[in-house]
Structure 1
Amino acid sequence: MVILFEKSIQIIKQHQSETGAYLASKNFPTYQYCWLRDGSYIAHAMDIAGEYESASAFFCWVGRTIQRFSYKVDEARFRMAEGLPMGKDDLLHTRFTMDGEEVYVDDTWGNFQIDGYGTWLWALNEHIKKSGEIDILQKLKEPIEITVRYLELVWKLPNYDCWEEHPEFLHTYSLSTVYAGFHAAGELAHSGGFSHKNILVDNLADEVRKFILDFAVKDGRLVKYFCPPDTKSDTQLVGNNGVDASLMAVAIPYQMFMPDDPIILATIKAIEEELHRHGGGVYRYMDDVYYGGGEWILLTAWLGWYYTSLNQVDKAQALCEWIESQADENGWLAEQVSDYVLYPEYYAPWAKKWGPIAKPLTWSHAMYIILMKALNKG
């Protein structure tokens, strides 16, 4: 639907600050910040829609923000080398105000999430390929190098996943973003004519991939999370570790494994069987109680994006049409759809705590744009 495609671009522009940051959702108080994760996918959507100026502004905003807090990387390296304890705010945050300041409104928020930094490197590299804006790399050289040093330092540390949960584990999705980030950093260095001060990013990417093969594959498919391998726990047995829809990213877009790799095919099969409601959308994971655990627009688009990589156009088109049917009279797409929630008893407590489900969600609109372009529409 071309109308919703154009509306999605308009909504994203309306959610972009003059600083370049993208609001996650202006109508949802808890989401009135910019996440590196969401923002990087939004910028990628704007790139493939030809809105290069918007994407460029975001990448530069991230660069300035990383430079502002770069001292944390050196301090974290010192603390780790000396065996000193690390506080929850001693590492880089994942969400910021529009002016690039850290957010402290909720002391319980899990700020240590590494995936947004890997995704930023990946999305920036895609931006260069699509826009040809090589000159931007001169102003982003230092932030790129800081990010590489940071990811090299922390990628084996337990951290919060992309749903901001389970800080006690390592997460397959997050590690796939690190893998893609290291690869992207190598290409960015080549494009920009600079090095990473002896950090061999391609070797680091290979190390991450081997780590995933060693610890994150069970019964022929990827697992959602696993224990750090230096603990006494069995890395393959971490309790209730069902499939998570975010695992699609390991293939699309990060290509740690190709879309037709047997590990990916087995993982997608589990997602289809456990998380894709027939004729509907895609759930995050089976134990999801957030607003009752509804079907997520962005994950439904993601599954369609994956299908296009295998030329399964009919499947992708069906998901695209379902997404379009969820847009309201304003053309807004929500974070999730609550018609068929997994745990209805949890909807009301979340609504009482934070209000109605976030709508519009810019990440949802971004993933719809990505799916539409993958289907050669829009």
Structure 2
Amino acid sequence: MTDAPTRTGLLALAEASHRVIATHQAPSGAYPASPTFSAYRGYSWFRDGAFIAEGASRYGDAEGAAAFHRWCAEVLAKRTDQVDALAARAGRGEHIPVADLLPTRYTIDGAVGNDPWWDFQLDGYGTWLWALASHTDRHGVVDGVDGGVATAVRYLTTFWSRPCYDWWEEHVDQRHVSTLGAIRAGLAAATTHPALAGALSAGERAAAADAAGAIDALVLSSGVADGHLTKWLGAADVDASLLACVAPFGLVAVDSEVGRTTVAAVEHALCVDGGVHRYAADTFYGGGQWPLLTAFLGWNQAAAGREDEAWASLRWIAAQATPAGELPEQVGHHLLAPGREQEWIDRWGTVATPLLWSHGMYLVLASELALVGRAR
């Protein structure tokens, strides 16, 4: 891609992005995080996959997205007894080790992998519920997901307040605002969307609504500093994952003072020449800029009516594509810790390319700007 892709080039990358997603989707419905990267190959994350499915759904691939949602539901339905047992243990006040809780990623066939990982993350289950509701609004009800929906809701209402790893598999001892935002969005979808709420008992709906309200109160009391959302409760700095708490999750509204200030704080602290870093102290592969995070920024820009800036974000992402139309996880134009890049290359190889989440987010932003598909 050129430094300033034309509309034709932007459309071509959208077509390539969908092709990458559709080509690598497994027969099970799972989306592998990356088909070639050593640490991701063979695994699907609920979080990554939910946003990949959102991009596919918006592009018009209704069946591909639905297949992913059915895969998620099946993964969870098979673990209903496990979740019920965990909830019972929690209800008795028992300490539950992280190793006993659900993982953040599964093998393509829905099993728990044998490779060690930073596995206790809650945001993916909330993100999946949100994405399922979004897809249903666009393309209609997905059959066979009720059991998974109910299990996800029980799991989240039981453990939402427990510290866990963030989007980046870090800081398991903290309660991360982006995680809380994803959980709240999922629980809100499960209690208000007819296609999801029908899978729950009255008691489950009430518990989910109570948890969503508690998250609102907790974030406003402990997750805001200097007028913006913070990386975790009690912190002062920002993380680019907070962008999702504004658009699309609506933990704070796009037009609210906290919403505007959060987006502005991320832009000021983490956006350089159009590309967005994860957080200021990032050292992963030297701490580069992530196309998918630039898409989240563009999503918020578009939602706030800042269309020219959103188009600039889309073009920046497109300029990072390889000649074959593949988007990486991150790029090294502006490394925060260049001395730390080689250690990750030695450990896992070069940066994950393609990363399906990057392609899914490109399609999301392209649809927000009415370049492809439909946003709603």
| TM-score over 0.5 for the pair | yes
* 1:205 paired to 2:212: yes
Q: 1: CA distance between counterparts of 2:125 and 2:57? A: 18
Secondary structure of the structure 2 residue equivalent to 1:96: strand
Q: Does 1:111 align with 2:111?
A: no
Instruction: Give the structure 2 partner of residue 230 of structure 1.
Output: none
**8 Å contact 1:189–1:195 — kept in the other structure?**
no
1:343 to 323, 333, 337: 337
1:9 counterpart letter in structure 2: H
Structure 1's consecutive aligned runs of 4 or more residues displaced over 4 angstroms after TM superposition are 189-192
Residue 170 (str. 1) matches residue 175 (str. 2): yes
**Mean CA deviation greater in 193-202 or 356-365:** 193-202
Change (3 A) 1:358 1:82: same
Give the counterpart of 1:74 among 65, 84, 102: 84
Contact 2:28 2:71 in 1 (8 A): yes
CA distance in 2 between partners of 1:191 and 1:102 (Å) = 26
CA drift of 1:194 comes to 4.4
In the TM superposition, what whole-angstrom CA distance separates every residue of 1:86-136 from its partner, at most 9, and x where no partner exists? 223211111011100011212xx221100000000000011110001x251
Distance 1:31 1:191 in 2: 30
Q: Is 2:104–2:122's contact at 8 Å kept on the other side of the alignment? A: yes
Give CA deviations for 1:270-314 in whole Å, capped at 9, x if unaligned.
Answer: 11111000x230000000000000000000111011100111111
- Pairing 1:216–2:253 present: no
**Counterpart in 2 of 1:129?**
137
- The Cα shift of 1:75 comes to 2.3
What amino acid maps onto 2:48 in structure 1?
D
Match of 1:233 in 2: none
**Alpha-carbon separation, structure 2, partners of 1:188 and 1:112:** 27
Q: Out of 292, 305, 311, which is 1:317 matched to?
A: 311
Q: Give the distance between the partners of 2:201 and 2:190, measured in 1 at CA.
A: 8
1:355 aligns with 2:349: yes
2:3 maps to which residue? none
* Distance verdict in 2 for CA 1:314–1:99, change over 3 Å: same
Q: Which residue type is aligned with residue 26 of structure 2?
A: S
SS of the aligned residue for 2:100 comes to coil
Question: Structure 1 residues 114, 193: CA separation in 2 closer, same or farther (over 3 Å shift)?
Answer: closer
Q: State the AA in 1 paired with 2:112.
A: E
| Structure 1 residues 329 and 135: alpha-carbon distance in aligned structure 2, compared to 1, 3 A threshold | closer
Structure 1, unmatched stretches of 5+, are 227-235
Give, as a single letter, the amino acid of the residue that structure 2 aligns with 1:141: D
**Distance in 2 separating the partners of 1:321 and 1:102:** 38
C-alpha deviation, 1:219, in angstroms: 1.9
> Is the contact between residue 177 and residue 229 of structure 2 (CA under 8 Å) also seen in structure 1?
yes
In the TM superposition, residue 68 of structure 1 has moved relative to its aligned partner by 1.6
SS at match of 1:295: coil
Separation in 1, partners of 2:142, 2:51: 22
C-alpha displacement of 1:191: 6.1
Q: What residue number does 1:284 align with?
A: 278
Match of 1:248 in 2: 243
Residue 189 of structure 1, CA deviation: 4.4
Task: State how far apart, in whole Å, the 1-side matches of 2:187 and 2:102 are.
Answer: 18
Describe the SS at the equivalent of 2:98: coil
Confirm or deny: 8 A CA contact 1:173 1:224 kept in the other structure.
Answer: yes
> What is the aligned counterpart of 1:4 among 9, 13, 28?
13
Q: Is 1:54 paired with 2:54?
A: no
Alignment partner of 1:327 is 2:327? no
1:224 and 1:218 map into 2 onto residues whose CA distance is 10
**Structure 1-normalised TM-score?**
0.92
Length, aligned pairs only: 360
Residue 231 of structure 1 corresponds to none
Secondary structure of the residue aligned to 1:320 is helix
Partner of residue 372 from structure 1, selected from 338, 344, 366: 366
Cα contact 1:15–1:24 (8 A) shared by 2: no
Listed one character per residue, the Cα deviations across residues 167-220 of structure 1 (whole Å, up to 9, x for unaligned) are: 001010010111111111023445674433412133332221111111101121
SS of the aligned residue for 2:281 comes to coil
Letter in 1 for 2:258: I
Select which of 262, 266, 284 maps to 1:271.
Answer: 266
Please tell me the residue identity of whatever aligns with 2:286. Answer: G
Q: TM-score normalised to the size of structure 2?
A: 0.93
Q: Distance in 2 between matches of 1:191 and 1:274?
A: 38
Contact 1:189 1:196 in 2 (8 A): no
Once the two structures are superposed, residues 130-167 of structure 1 have per-residue CA deviations (whole angstroms, 9 ceiling, x without a partner) of 001x251xx21111111111100000001011111100
Tell me the distance in 2 between the aligned counterparts of 1:320 and 1:144.
Answer: 33
Structural RMSD (CA):
1.4
